[in-house]
């Protein structure tokens, strides 16, 4: 099971995640987030780091130039678009970097397949998170995973939203042909942006 730990604000914790064989680490570039890392990690320190895990920059309604500048300045491997970004922006970015397009699930406005239809050809992965008020991720809330089970999707996706150690069995037994990775954040923290590595290790071992 591929695992992404999101909301990292310390290079030391990136090193620790790499040592735990975590596959993806999320670094949030959205300034309104309590897990914003832009003023906590130096560009050179991150760009010159040597990790096996993929560094994922998380953006919310950012412009193309801002995203590409961050990719180059921080040596990002993947970008995650967590707002209302257009298929055109996804396609433009995908020429230079892997793209995860995130979708908020559970507000009843659209089915999963309707949400993703316009993005099928323009990104590498989807991520499904909980639709919750105006908060952009990190809510600690789960949506009904059956909404995904009943969808075709047909692209590798990350399952996100309020997932913690108590959900290991649920994560392991969830079935979908395109289920690629699990994404964790607030449920494995000591405080926003600081992960509890004992919980991360417990979660990771539980998935094996």
How many angstroms separate the CA atoms of 155 and 136, rounded?
Answer: 23
With beta carbons less than 8 A apart as the criterion, state whether 14 and 50 touch.
Answer: no
How many angstroms separate the CA atoms of 36 and 32, rounded?
Answer: 7
Q: Count of domains in the chain?
A: 1
The number of C-alpha atoms within 13 Å of 7 and in the hemisphere containing its C-beta is: 26
- Give Cα 36 to chain centroid, integer Å: 14
* H helix or E strand, kind and range, residue 170: helix 168-173
CATH of the domain at 128: 3.20.20.70
Domain span at residue 10? Answer: 2-207
For the chain, 208 residues long, give each residue's pLDDT as a single digit of tens.
899 999 999 999 999 999 999 999 999 999 999 999 999 999 999 999 999 999 999 999 999 999 999 999 999 999 999 999 999 999 999 999 999 999 999 877 789 999 999 999 999 999 999 986 444 455 567 999 999 999 999 999 999 999 999 999 999 999 999 999 999 999 999 999 999 999 999 999 999 8
């Amino acid at each position: 099971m591929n695992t992404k730990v999101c909301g990292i604000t310390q290079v030391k914790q990136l090193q620790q995640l790499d040592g735990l064989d975590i596959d993806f680490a999320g670094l949030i570039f959205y300034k309104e987030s309590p897990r914003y890392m832009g003023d906590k990690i130096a560009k050179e320190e991150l760009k010159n780091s040597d990790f096996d895990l993929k560094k994922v920059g998380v953006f919310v309604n950012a412009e193309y130039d801002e995203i590409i500048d961050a990719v180059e300045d921080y040596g990002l491997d993947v970008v995650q678009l967590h707002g209302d970004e257009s298929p055109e922006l996804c396609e433009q970015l995908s020429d230079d970097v892997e793209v995860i397009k995130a979708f908020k699930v559970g507000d009843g406005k659209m089915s999963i397949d309707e949400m993703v239809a316009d993005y099928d050809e323009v990104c590498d992965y989807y991520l499904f998170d909980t639709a919750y008020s105006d908060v952009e991720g990190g809510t600690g809330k789960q949506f009904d995973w059956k909404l995904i089970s009943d969808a075709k999707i047909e692209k590798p996706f990350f399952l996100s939203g309020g997932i913690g150690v108590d959900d290991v069995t649920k994560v392991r037994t969830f079935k979908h042909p395109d289920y690629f990775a699990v994404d964790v954040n607030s449920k494995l923290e000591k405080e926003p942006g600081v992960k509890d590595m004992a919980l991360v290790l417990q979660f990771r071992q539980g998935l094996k």
